[in-house]
Amino acid sequence: MSNDAERNVIDLARHGTYIERLQVSGLQAIDAEVLEVLLADPDPRIVRATLQNTRVTTEMLRHLARTRPEFTEPAARHVNAPPELMGIDIIWHLGAESVDRFSRHKAATEAQRAAFIREYRQAGERHLHRSVADVWSIAEREG
């Protein structure tokens, strides 16, 4: 994106109408500054829309949960959620990549990782309302 285009996008993120800010939130070719502006938007609908953008980083999500606790749960469901936030989410909300990232963060042994994946699959199949932290506790004991 050219400097003029980047400046225009940041201006829209800061001063645009609701619809313009909503459209900017879905752009994949935007930089971190624009995402940070949108995550700080006073309109919660804009923040929720921005949380759908896969370019939101782990550190942005961590900051959002710390400064705007009302967005902790949706931040925990983001594909780039920090592991400490993932623990509060329901296990079957996580994708396979997030499950793998969480088990790496916990330095899981192969047995723990296998147990974690097995419990993850069972919870998803049965729609069990278990948190990631609860499933990890089971995997730790069994692994």
Separation CA 3–CA 126 (nearest Å)? 50
> Do residue 63 and residue 91 come from a single domain?
no
> Do residue 61 and residue 108 come from a single domain?
no
Range of the domain at 89: 83-142
Instruction: Specify the pTM.
Output: 0.77
> Do residue 64 and residue 25 come from a single domain?
yes
- In the chain, the N- to C-terminal Cα span, in Å, equals 48
- Asked if pLDDT for residue 103 goes beyond 60, the answer is yes
> Do residue 48 and residue 99 come from a single domain?
no
> Do residue 72 and residue 28 come from a single domain?
yes
Which tokens belong to 77?
A: 């469901």
> Do residue 94 and residue 48 come from a single domain?
no
pLDDT tens, residue by residue, 43-99: 999 999 999 999 999 999 999 999 999 999 999 989 899 988 888 877 877 788 888
Per the listing, tokens 């729609």 go with 127
Q: Structurally, how many domains does the chain consist of?
A: 2
pLDDT higher at 133 or 17? 17
Question: Which of 59, 81, 103 is where one domain is finished?
Answer: 81
> Do residue 75 and residue 94 come from a single domain?
no
> Do residue 55 and residue 20 come from a single domain?
yes
**Positive or negative CA dihedral for 30, 89, 121, 97?**
positive
The pLDDT score that the predictor gives to residue 44 is 98
Question: Which of 55, 81, 107 is where one domain is finished?
Answer: 81
